[in-house]
Amino acid sequence: MRSGRAHREWRIFLALSIASAVISACFGYLIGDHSLHAVVMGVLHSIAIATPILLFEIKGQSTRLLRRLRRQPLAVYFGFRSLFYIAVIIGGMVIVRLLFNDSPTVFDETFRPSIVFAVAMSVAANLVFEVGRLLGFRTLKNLLTGRYVQPRREQRAFALIDMKDSTGMAERLGPIRFHELLNAFFQDVADAALECRAEIHKYVGDEAILTWSRTDAIANGDCVACPFIVQDRIAANSKRYKSRFGTVPQFRAALHWGEIVAGEIGDLRREIAYVGDTLNVAARLLDATKTLGEDVLASTDLLDQTTVPPDLKSKPLSTLSLRGRVAPLSVAALERR
């Protein structure tokens, strides 16, 4: 189930490694003797420095030590990261120069500018990772490329996943423990989103909003399967939930498809917002799961655009009159066969 997350992590690692090698090769050529040897030295420095730093950023964040450090004051956390970066940069440069440099000394005239360059590259990579984790890497890419500077119409599918009985669990567990439960729940949702090629638009309280724009992800039924993959992730981790929280979370989900307007919004803090009736209808559909007693509801607008996976079945329900919508909505309940 973690193949989607692993695939994404290695794709990021490969892209940043190649970018680092290209930039380092150009830098080596410019400060060196403009030879092939200088280019190769730049690439070797990139491998020795960028590889452990990228592995630390991508794989190390899930280790127990890093999770504990992230709970420390910000100065302590960044101090540790800075020491690690400096050790890797200096150690990598010294090792490469001892093994491959023709110069009789490690600390030649190019050592100082190389250190400055390596630190600048590491700081830039650190910023990319931190902002990417905060906004989402796809959102960050869209903001940097200006895809949504001008509002644009899009056809999108949405899945709203809402934890059941969150108020009761928060009361039983207390705010700190409930936050930990919610974080574990959203991690399982994120794993399922990666499997289903979904974007995580945002978390709102105890609700996650997932979206798809890719035609193949919709046509192949990935969006329809997503809530059930979340169920599988939670079931696989049920012992961990039981031991840590004494309960296993359950959820309701609503899926809908339609046109929205996507665009950058905000002043002091910018984000990409989706505006339109589609998300409002999805929210009303999520409310309807409670009154209808169904865990997963999908609009026929979405089901007409996709293929229901063979291990699932859709059960047509009567049309719903949703608050704020004139036309009734045809819906179906989704469940496993």
Residue tagged 């655009």 (tokens): 305
Element (H, E) at 127: helix 111-135
User: Are 167 and 230 members of one domain?
Assistant: yes
pLDDT in tens, 39-72: 888 888 888 888 888 888 777 666 667 767 766 6
User: Are 125 and 166 members of one domain?
Assistant: no
User: Are 190 and 278 members of one domain?
Assistant: yes
Residue 44 lies in a domain: yes
Which of 80, 108, 135 is where one domain is finished? 135
How far apart are alpha carbons 310 and 220 in whole angstroms? 11
Res. 2 pLDDT band, cuts 50 70 90: very low
Mean pLDDT, to the nearest integer, of 73-90?
Answer: 79
Domain extent for 301: 152-336
By CB neighbour count within 10 A (0-12 exposed, 13-18 middle, 19+ buried), where does 317 fall? middle
User: Are 169 and 124 members of one domain?
Assistant: no
Alpha-carbon distance values, 307 to 53, 192, 310 (Å): 42, 18, 9
Number of domains in the chain: 2
User: Are 114 and 180 members of one domain?
Assistant: no
Residue 31 lies in a domain: yes
**pLDDT at site 62:** 62
How far apart are alpha carbons 192 and 190 in whole angstroms? 5
User: Are 244 and 113 members of one domain?
Assistant: no
User: Are 281 and 207 members of one domain?
Assistant: yes
How far apart are alpha carbons 231 and 335 in whole angstroms? 11
CB hemisphere CA count around 126 (13 angstroms): 14
The CATH number for 185's domain is 3.30.70.1230
**pLDDT at site 1:** 41
How far apart are alpha carbons 27 and 267 in whole angstroms? 37
